[in-house]
Structure 1
């Protein structure tokens, strides 16, 4: 599988398909300040493996700053968010099981790039967060904040 999307300051390469593999795995490059708003989902288990940089996670009431080699697991249904709180790019793997929620949201809301692209879109695509929240809700992901 070779698909690349840009969404909310992240370039994401899809490495698996939930329909074919039973899980969704993507790698993500996060620009400075990029991340996901507080959200929760009951049907996807989500985990992150940091490869480069520092990423700040909120999982429930806990704040976790994770660096290379660290793994962050989000309990199903727990409110969580993450962001690159540094001025450097960060990289991580994102694993969702079974993953159709995230795979669908990234495809619908993201801007498709050439497979394997590392070029940040310029200008940055505008994103209507009210529309994103509706798409997320339809897929089973609740934007909380």
Structure 2
């Protein structure tokens, strides 16, 4: 076990790292998330890392390369390397999901870099807070992640 925090508040999402890449022979990062309704990740893409989501409870709305997907318990959504994607918890309760990032170094650095460590064993959602958007964008650029502005709706 590493001597570093495993539980973080990342953009108001409770993230518990079950495995860091350094613990999986640099093959993947394995994270469990509790996502409040309305929270998630804005449209982004990253070359060199695939991402896989497995929904345990609740519902998540995904956008993958322009295609909308509504996923619920037992559903798996794979994000191809480099695909523009976003997700958001929807419905009337928080969503629980598992995320595997492979090889995971980018997501490890990003999530733990923008996240705030929480007490180990915390299972309740953290107090919501406003993210420091310039810091989020700066770290994303450093690790190779790009956020994409949503297309403007026609007038």
Per the TM superposition, whether the score is higher than 0.5 is: yes
- What's the TM-score once normalised by structure 1's chain length? 0.94
- Within a 5 Å distance, the mapping from 1:75-94 to structure 2 comes to 75-94=80-99
- What's the TM-score once normalised by structure 2's chain length? 0.88
Match of 2:46 among 28, 41, 50: 41
What count of residue pairs does the alignment treat as equivalent?
Answer: 144
Q: Does 1:27 align with 2:51?
A: no
Where structure 2 has 5 or more consecutive residues not aligned to the other structure, the ranges are 150-155
What is the CA–CA distance in structure 1 between the aligned matches of 2:133 and 2:91, rounded to whole Å? 23
Name the Cα RMSD after superposition.
1.3
Match of 2:16 among 13, 16, 27: 13
Give the deviation of 1:129 after TM superposition.
1.0
- Within a 5 Å distance, the mapping from 1:1-145 to structure 2 comes to 1=1, 3-21=6-24, 22-122=27-127, 124-145=128-149
CA contact (8 A) 1:111 1:125 kept: no
Where structure 1 has 5 or more consecutive residues not aligned to the other structure, the ranges are none
Provide, for residues 62-115 of structure 1, a one-character-per-residue CA deviation record: whole Å limited to 9, x for no partner: 100000000000010000000002231110000000001111111110010011
1:114 match: secondary structure: coil
CA contact (8 A) 2:38 2:89 kept: yes
CA contact (8 A) 2:8 2:112 kept: yes
What is the CA–CA distance in structure 2 between the aligned matches of 1:92 and 1:119, rounded to whole Å? 14
Provide, for residues 103-140 of structure 1, a one-character-per-residue CA deviation record: whole Å limited to 9, x for no partner: 11111100100112023333x33321121011011011
Q: Considering only CA atoms, is the larger Rg found in Structure 1 or Structure 2?
A: 2
